[in-house]
Amino acid sequence: MSSSGEGSDQRRGEMSPEDREALKRRAEAIGKHLEEVQSRKSSSSASSEGDQKRHGAALGQAFRISVELVAGVVVGGFIGWVIDRQLGTKPWLFIVFVMLGFAAGMLNVIRSAQRMQAASEPMQRKAPSVKDKDDEGEA
């Protein structure tokens, strides 16, 4: 059978002084490590805020481009549908105007992309160039 603790110095649920010291040292090490991680996180949070703003701006531009394309198709389809109802030429003018709306939407997307590229060109020119293997002088 198991011993019930008779004749031993330790009772169930109590720690020896050596175990207490080891636990304190471990807790202090964990605390120091946690402080280091928190200080690194706070120093990198300033740069991550800038990243979040750039990602938000890029997401906004993507939504704008997609809405311009969809709006062109919807407006073209609506105009074709209305004219088809009045002239009784279903579905031919609807199809023609959906295609024209798609073309207008694509034209708007291309123009928006060109404007965005022109706005970011000065920043691209300031960026350092990246050397490829041919520039490193491999022999």
- Three-state helix/strand/coil letters over the chain: CCCCCCCCCCCCCCCCHHHHHHHHHHHHHHHHHHHHHHHHHHHHHHHHHHHHHHHHHHHHHHHHHHHHHHHHHHHHHHHHHHHHHHHCCCCHHHHHHHHHHHHHHHHHHHHHHHHHHHHHHHHHHHCCCCCCCCCCCCC
Number of independent structural domains in the chain:
1
In a domain, 98, yes or no: yes
pLDDT for residue 66 is more than 90? yes
pLDDT in tens, 98-114: 999 999 999 999 999 99
* Residue 135: CB atoms within 10 Å: 9
Residue 71 lies in a domain: yes
Whether the pTM exceeds 0.75: the reply is: no
1 band by pLDDT with thresholds 50, 70 and 90: very low
Let me know if residue 3 belongs to a domain: no
Q: Is residue 38 part of a domain?
A: no
Residue 1 lies in a domain: no
Domain presence at residue 91:
yes
**Domain of residue 75, residue span:** 55-125
Distance, CA of 64 to CA of 62 (rounded, Å): 5
**Dist. CA 88–CA 81, nearest whole Å:** 10
Q: Is there a domain that residue 89 lies in?
A: yes
Residue 48's pLDDT is 72
- Find all residues with CB under 8 Å of 98, minimum gap 6, and list them: 73, 76, 77, 80
Tokens of 44: 């990198």
Q: Within a domain: residue 102?
A: yes
Question: Which pLDDT score, from 0 to 100, does residue 131 have?
Answer: 76
